[in-house]
Amino acid sequence: METPSAASESPPTPTPPTVIAKPAPPAAAPAAAPGTPPPPFNAPRATVEPRPNVALIDRTTPPEDLWQRMRQGFSIPDLDNALVREKTAYYAARPEYLQRIFDRSRMYLYHIVEELEKRGMPTELALLPMVESAFNPMAYSRAHASGLWQFIPGTGKRFELKQNWWYDGRRDIVDSTNAALDYLQYLYEMHGDWHLALASYNWGENAVARAIAKNKAAGKPADYAHLSMPLETRHYIPKLQALKNIINNPEPLGIVLDPIPNQPYFATYTKLRDIDVQLAAKLADMSVAQFMALNPGFSRPLIRASVTPRIVLPADKVDTFHENLQKLDEKSAVSWATYSPKKGDTLESIAKKHGMTVSHLKEVNGIPPRSRSLPSLMVVPANRNTAVAMTRLPIMYAPPIPITYRRIYHTVKPGETLTSIARRYGVTLEDMKRLNPKGAVVGERVTMEVRAAGKSKSKGKPRSQPKGKPKKTAD
């Protein structure tokens, strides 16, 4: 803290002026004869040290490294508790895992940081997809949450993310980022607190509102630290804080943070017509995997311009794509056709007719591997000659196949607990606690989510569920 200057102190009480006699001027020294050297300098000597250099940050010049740009925009109050230290140690002990996330994020971070700064939002929110999806745009949860920002279908529709057979806007890089930032802004305006906003993003805005109301009614503090919330949500913000700590100062933790150029990685192209995914990638001089990493919203190997008239390409590939597209005959841009199954058709007969394997036919049409059902609309090769040359979409970026769940209920009997009921029905205790916050009350029903596909072979009980978590529901 600086000491106050003399100008800021209270003025002293005035005193009568004192008259001081001026001393007589010294007698002038006799003039030296011309050519006589001056006398030696006998006054006190002072040594002046050079002023040390002061490190300055030039805010008028954008930093070359995107990480540094992000650091300058960090503004959410820091958390410092045991959970944060635990999560920081967890990530620091897994440098290979962190490196994979950082490598994937390079394609998307500039766009996200740019959008955050346009809105005046904290830039550490750009790290949220590391927690949500590990920056995998095809991440798909048990609760049907999808994309970098993990929107469930209902919240996606609420924020105008298109979801149809051809395209899923929850996975679209540009659209999902806009929707996520809209939602985060809305939640911050609701609470006036970023920790509560983030808890609402994970747990649900109404759930957090009810927890706040409950604390207020009990006369307890209603801030994030004092709310009762699910374990997953309690760990959610410490994970973000841990990643922020690592990005802010990676060296002491032994983390190597390769610079990311502070410039756009991708641009959008809107003069599109119907075209195969495989061909679009070829025209941009990209692999299919690279193309799908920037265009994960497409669910079929055929891009329908009437459904989505925009694609995303690396900034340095846009001109190449445009030039090659202009040279292309429109009829040769599409090697897939739509097909409506007829009476008597089977998956085997349709696959054989179009020169495909059944597994490939299922994959490109989003049909679950064990399903025998035929959708009302399918895509198939336009002719048998082109079917052999078609490249399968990379598994990492293959369209997600939804798993259908249904809710069942059980009336609690004396001696039963959530743990015993979860074990009996083959569901996770975490899910049981999420769906039944009051616990197991004798005589009351508890809720469970099980696969709609039927029963397991053992004891006629529902199949156990893959581990998942609730995602951005209003409740």
Which residue out of 124, 132, 205, 449 is catalytically annotated? Answer: 132
Alpha-carbon gap, residue 301 to 293, rounded angstroms: 14
- Which one-letter DSSP state was computed for residue 246? H
Structure tokens at 367: 């049909």
Alpha-carbon gap, residue 211 to 217, rounded angstroms: 10
Q: List phi, psi (to 5°) of 162.
A: -65, 140
Alpha-carbon gap, residue 401 to 325, rounded angstroms: 31
Angle, to 10 degrees, between the axis of helix 194-203 and the axis of helix 205-217? 120
269: three-class secondary structure by DSSP: strand
Q: How many CB atoms lie within 10 A of CB 145?
A: 24
Structure tokens at 307: 């459904």
Structure tokens at 391: 């490249």
Alpha-carbon gap, residue 222 to 450, rounded angstroms: 35
Does 232 qualify as catalytic in the annotation?
no
Question: What sign results for the dihedral spanned by CA atoms 431, 433, 434, 435?
Answer: positive
At CA 30, angle to CA 26 and CA 31, rounded to 5? Answer: 125
Q: Which stretch of DSSP H or E encloses residue 408?
A: strand 405-411
- Which one-letter DSSP state was computed for residue 140? B
Alpha-carbon gap, residue 270 to 466, rounded angstroms: 39
Nearest by Cα to 347 from 323, 369, 320, 316 = 369
447: three-class secondary structure by DSSP: strand
Beta bridge partners of 140: 146
Alpha-carbon gap, residue 186 to 305, rounded angstroms: 32
At CA 164, angle to CA 284 and CA 276, rounded to 5? Answer: 25
Structure tokens at 306: 């009437």
Nearest by Cα to 84 from 256, 200, 222, 243 = 243
End-to-end Cα, the chain, rounded Å: 47
Q: How many CB atoms lie within 10 A of CB 408?
A: 14
The catalytic site residues sit at 132
